[in-house]
Structure 1
């Protein structure tokens, strides 16, 4: 199978723009990949929340919302399966989640289990973490899914003999990445022999994005920083 890692830019709080970015990525992938992956919280942007619940509940979307329906429609239209992070509202609870659309429908919804996605010193009980890390089957292959700090806080929860997909959002400079890249590769190896990590580009704050294929704790392939592109990996 071929998996695309889309290091694309988002705008915080602008779902319509970010949906257009997803469509742009699907169009650019042009049938060259089976599954196209975007970064953590890509739908709303990682810094879209204010940590005021009444405001944030209107930013987050439910898994059965029209916005998620539009993502399913796009995946079906472009005949490309889709994975991306978003802020989810379920009842009165908010989560940092990751949705997987297969054959034009929402097939798997993962909720981040580590708390680093939120300002936990000021947030209340509405801002929650998930509990399950079961992964999903894709084209007969086991895929484990982790979001950003999950692999730093609970690497043992994500151990798999299959493939690990790791959407993140970090705003390291290119100079900082020169030191951190090897650390991320080694951390991924605690969970899987092969791991695919995708980071988004943003401009406020600045993030230079990036996408990586890690194998055995080392970088096998990667994108250049600072420009929108798709890393295609055959696994």
Structure 2
């Protein structure tokens, strides 16, 4: 006779490669689920034991032994509750992305992921062999089917489970964030639940791993496709639900958390991206240049929200072209945020460099060489502070600048992590306005004034670029949606603007390869999901 089941979703932030530490988190959470929440079954994310994505750690010879030791710990240390947990495992010499069901020291069954994604940020076919068989196990008289991440985006694995007559489906996930992804997931899971005529417990991990952000937003979905519960965005949490096999009803035991709007969700993703990169890599804090402009203003706000003001240091590095407004606004924001703040003029450094370069530069007219030297003086100062204090240098370039190469190698690109790397300039403004609704820390005139690098008198970004509203739309069509030049022109853009912007994108791949990583929030960032050759004769005209 079937009896009700209390299921706990463990939406955890795990550390890639730390198999002993992740295993300890699984054990601690399982015991808490059993003792505090009286759960019968606890669900953990995809590849929880090794963290996701483990990349070429999966190729290490010791992986098999480490996973076997981790599983043995689960067999030995967790009793009285059923675990469903993800891990990589060899079977007959092939490596599978696996989910195991463990109860009282026994491995009840294993399921090998069938659909291995190999697009955008995913590269699973490099490592894993695809499974082919469904996995259904009985728990307290209920037939439960397993699914791993990409499987639920395809009909074949869910058709198998539908054919097996499952009562409930557990889906283990490590699904990265991008704008609109949570809504997209909910729609997909709803369709699969209806297809299987079974409710779905959809667990997603949270936390950031290098440039990837995992947003959580775990779901409980009814057999009719109704979203019954949504978990927190970019936060850990333990969530319980009751499944009644007699009625087939899945009932959440906490109040559903409303999905944040776009600006809030992106901002929280940036905060988590910075926090996890700094903390998981053991940095004491961060340092960045605070210029009085909007990019550094937003970056330092994110850093403080991620780490606290005591771990953030900002330096204003003025030059002869720096306006008094910039100096005043940088100081005002530093004071509003309560961070350590210093002013170091780059004038003496710049003059010394120019004196030493006098012979090499003689006979040449001033150009971007002198402008770039200003940025490189600032990079030297920040890197010296970083080395001495063990702080990570945050760079502040946005996606629009990264796209067209409006950044200086070994200057404003010098650093370890770029907060805004995947944030178009127009979104920078939207996020700055959003941040000020939480507390007013970015001076309003920073938001209102025309953007400028202040590398030359009266310089503005729009002296040599289309308005950012136009530029960002062209970049979205070309970078994220793969439109040709003609297709973009057909959308109503000026041919001269389109051809200039596309050429700038193409010829600046070499810069982006040397740029620091940053949190990915769009459907295609400059990083692991956009891999173009540096040396290329490709033309973007068609």
Aligned residue in 2 for 1:230? 238
Whether the 8 Å CA contact 1:95–1:127 is kept in 2: the answer is yes
Aligned residue in 1 for 2:77? 74
3-state SS in 1 of match to 2:62: helix
Aligned residue in 2 for 1:141? 142
Cα distance in 2 for partners of 1:14, 1:171 equals 20
Aligned residue in 2 for 1:42? 48
Cα distance in 1 for partners of 2:58, 2:185 equals 32
Any unmatched runs of 5+ in structure 1?
A: none
Distance verdict in 2 for CA 1:156–1:30, change over 3 Å: closer
| TM superposition shift of 1:95 | 0.3
| TM superposition shift of 1:158 | 1.9
1:191 aligns with 2:196: yes
The one of 29, 44, 50 aligned to 2:33: 29
TM-score after normalising by structure 2: 0.39
Q: 1:201-220 to 2 correspondence within 5 Å?
A: 201-204=206-209, 205-215=212-222, 216-220=224-228
3-state SS in 1 of match to 2:78: helix
Higher helix share: 2
Cα distance in 2 for partners of 1:22, 1:218 equals 29
| TM superposition shift of 1:174 | 7.0
| TM superposition shift of 1:148 | 1.1
Cα distance in 2 for partners of 1:206, 1:29 equals 26
Number of aligned residues: 227
Higher strand share: 1
TM-score after normalising by structure 1: 0.87
| TM superposition shift of 1:69 | 0.9
3-state SS in 1 of match to 2:123: coil
| TM superposition shift of 1:173 | 4.3
Q: 1:1-235 to 2 correspondence within 5 Å?
A: 1-31=5-35, 32-50=38-56, 53=59, 55=60, 57-60=61-64, 65-76=68-79, 79-116=80-117, 119=123, 123=126, 127-153=128-154, 154=156, 155-159=158-162, 160-173=165-178, 175-204=180-209, 205-215=212-222, 216-235=224-243
Q: Deviations over 1:162-209 (max 9, x none)?
A: 111111111124753134323322233322421111011122122121
3-state SS in 1 of match to 2:238: strand
Cα distance in 2 for partners of 1:120, 1:203 equals 19
- Higher-RCO chain (CA-CA 8 Å, sequence separation at least 6): 1
Cα distance in 2 for partners of 1:200, 1:186 equals 21
Whether the 8 Å CA contact 1:51–1:119 is kept in 2: the answer is no
Cα distance in 2 for partners of 1:52, 1:162 equals 34
Larger Rg: 2
| TM superposition shift of 1:52 | 7.2
Any unmatched runs of 5+ in structure 2?
A: 244-542
